[in-house]
């Protein structure tokens, strides 16, 4: 083999927790360096094969370079340094923070009275941000989190345990809350309500059955599994 095995080197760095930014840059710079060494050797009169052989000797072997990269803890990515914090603690806190913000919005509406009193009909532009916020926090936040988590874990060859645990916790926590929103009209007052609880169990277990939350869990977890399995072929297709 004349050149270094760039793909093995890249995978070796990523599997050992090196940040993708530095893995990509190391390969890019080494390739450029190798080409310069090779050009210089050819200019000195060596054949292409002899030039590549010399360039390979001068640049060092894959194991030496990999060991040097791994000796620098500052080049490791945050998810690989702190997997529990990154995949479990931070997203859970972010979700709780989102609940908090939503609750605050409801309380502010209640306090001001403007949004809920009858006869105080709101314009579409006033309703839109509130609707978007509720929709995003209720239905989009967790699936987006799951997709981003999978992409991060796949790109970094991270052991799937912590990402999977994080996704499961987020899906159960995220599907445990629901809201209802009735805008005020000329005749009736508006009403906001937010419910938090585990209402996805069948009626036999908890009394009344909430199909919406149950579906959220099943759909999001299924989508996450499918995306996990499809990620590598999709990525290859996109690159090629």
Partner 1 sequence: MAKTNAAFMSGIPELVVLRLLSRSEMYGYELIRAIRLTSGESIVLAEGVVYPTLHGLEQRGLLKAKEKLVKGRLRVYYQTTAKGKKRLVELENDWHRINNGVEAILRRVVCQN
| Residues within the interface to partner 1 (CB under 8 A) | 4, 22, 25-26, 28-30, 32-33, 35-37, 58-61, 64-65, 68-69, 71-72, 74-75
Nearest to partner 1 of 155, 214 (CB atom): 155
Nearest to partner 1 of 23, 170 (CB atom): 23
Radius of gyration of the chain (CA): 27
Smallest gap from Cβ 72 to partner 1, in A, equals 4
> Burial, 161: exposed, middle or buried (Cβ in 10 Å; 0-12, 13-18, 19+)?
exposed
Smallest gap from Cβ 163 to partner 1, in A, equals 24
Nearest to partner 1 of 32, 112 (CB atom): 32
DSSP 71-82: T-GGGB-HHHHS
Smallest gap from Cβ 21 to partner 1, in A, equals 9
Smallest gap from Cβ 13 to partner 1, in A, equals 9
**CB 183, CB 105: distance < 8 Å:** no
Contacts of 23 (CB under 8 A, 6+ apart): 10, 13, 14
Q: What share of the chain is helix, strand, coil (3-state, %, to 5)?
A: 70, 5, 25
Positive or negative torsion for Cα 201, 203, 205, 208: positive
Nearest to partner 1 of 2, 195 (CB atom): 2
Smallest gap from Cβ 19 to partner 1, in A, equals 9
Nearest to partner 1 of 50, 226 (CB atom): 50
Element (H or E) spanning 16, and its range?
Answer: none
Q: Please give the angle made by the CA atoms of 63, 65 and 68, to the nearest 5 degrees.
A: 105
């Amino acid at each position: 083999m004349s050149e270094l095995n760039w793909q093995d080197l890249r995978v070796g760095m990523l599997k050992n927790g090196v940040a993708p930014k530095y893995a990509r840059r190391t390969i890019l710079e080494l390739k450029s360096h190798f080409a310069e060494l090779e050009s210089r050797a050819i200019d000195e009169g060596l054949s292409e094969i002899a030039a590549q052989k010399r360039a390979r000797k001068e640049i060092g072997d894959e194991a030496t370079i990999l060991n040097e990269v791994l000796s620098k803890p500052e080049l490791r990515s945050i998810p690989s340094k702190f997997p529990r914090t990154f995949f479990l603690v931070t997203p859970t806190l972010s979700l709780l923070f989102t609940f908090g913000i939503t609750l605050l919005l409801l309380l502010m509406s209640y306090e001001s009275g403007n949004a809920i009193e009858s006869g105080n009909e709101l314009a579409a532009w006033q309703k839109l941000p509130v609707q978007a916020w509720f929709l995003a926090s209720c239905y989009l936040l967790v699936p987006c989190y799951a997709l981003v988590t999978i992409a991060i874990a796949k790109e970094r060859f991270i052991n799937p345990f912590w990402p999977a645990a994080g996704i499961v916790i987020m899906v159960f926590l995220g599907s445990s809350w629901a809201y209802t929103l009735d805008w005020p009209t000329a005749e009736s007052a508006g009403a906001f309500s937010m419910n938090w609880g585990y209402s996805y169990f069948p009626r036999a277990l908890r009394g009344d059955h909430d199909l919406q939350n149950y579906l959220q869990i099943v759909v999001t977890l299924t989508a996450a599994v499918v995306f996990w399995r499809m990620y590598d072929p999709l990525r290859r297709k996109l690159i090629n």
